[in-house]
Amino acid sequence: MAEKEKMTVYIISDSIGETAYNLATAATVQFPEVEFTYHRFPLSKTTSLLAGILEQAKRANAFVVHTLVGKGLAGYVNQFCKDNNLYVLDGMSKLINTISQKTGLTPLYQAGRNHKLNKTYFNRIEALEFAVTYDDGKDPKGFLQADIVLLGVSRTSKTPLSLYLANKNYKVANLPLVPQTNIPEELWQVDPQKIFGLTNDPQVLNNIRKERLVTYGLNPETNYSNLENIEAELKFAEKLYKKIGCLVINVSNKSIEETATLITESLPL
């Protein structure tokens, strides 16, 4: 029996992403000979957040499906995909624009207006908003309220992973690790079983960071992408993980889903 062709699908939304997911799966089930892997990125409401997600999509040569309605977001994704030769399906813009032209009315550009306002919906929105609020260590108090705390140096998929887990109703906070910076006191008050240290292979991280700088039109050879500096960052993180006693996950060869499954299955009952 021939091995199935594989395709990665990135599903992006500025709401919870159900419409985009249903749209993608409604089409992909028509191709049973292909093995599809889905990565869902809900509440993607800023271009800075989208930039990180799209860089991952580029590395995975993914098919991008989105239902972004926020002003400028759809255009940003569509242009990125065009510039980087990624196939993209914009599930909302053309339909909204057509209705606007026919009626002469201006659309609201509000995400998530078609969802039923039930308890499950509100719980998911709460988890997603929590992940956005406590992303990148913005407020250390979030560590005390989180179901999961993610630690990692830059470009270890903390934010996309936080949003993926939030879509599973987990409240997630994350903290970027930089040597010579103070670790918030709140972190030491968290159950180590709820903390997960993300790491990566130095060379893989070196390539990811260089690609990131090139995307922004910057010189790829900087302290940020320097291999020795990256190795020092990873050693700093490893030392911290040992001190905390948390589970360490190398994300270099793992999908978002695989890493998320490792985390959820390791949580205390």
Element (H, E) at 5: strand 5-12
Dump pLDDT digits (tens) for 138-160.
899 999 999 999 999 999 999 98
82 assigned ligand-binding residue: no
Q: How many domains does the chain have?
A: 2
154 assigned ligand-binding residue: yes
Does 56 share its domain with 146?
no
Does 81 share its domain with 129?
no
Residue 173, both tokens: 């906070």
3-state SS, one letter per residue, for 92-146: CHHHHHHHHHHHCCCCCCCCCCCCCCCHHHHHHHHHHHHHHHCHHHCCCCHHHHC
158 assigned ligand-binding residue: yes
For 175, list phi and psi in degrees, rounded to 5: -135, 120
Does 149 share its domain with 57?
no
pLDDT, mean of residues 201-229: 91
Dump pLDDT digits (tens) for 231-261.
999 999 999 999 999 999 999 988 888 999 9
Integer Cα distance of 23 and 260 in angstroms:
23
Model confidence at 216, pLDDT cuts 50, 70, 90, reads confident
**Residues sharing a CB contact under 8 Å with residue 255, sequence separation 6 or more, in sequence order:** 37, 39
Does 90 share its domain with 188?
no
Whichever domain contains 37, its CATH number is 3.40.50
15 assigned ligand-binding residue: no
**Would residue 109 count as lying in a domain?**
no
For 13, list phi and psi in degrees, rounded to 5: -150, 155
261 assigned ligand-binding residue: no
Q: Which domain holds residue 261?
A: 119-266
Does 137 share its domain with 252?
yes
pTM tops 0.75 = no
Percent of the chain with pLDDT over 70: 94
Does 21 share its domain with 152?
no
Does 182 share its domain with 244?
yes
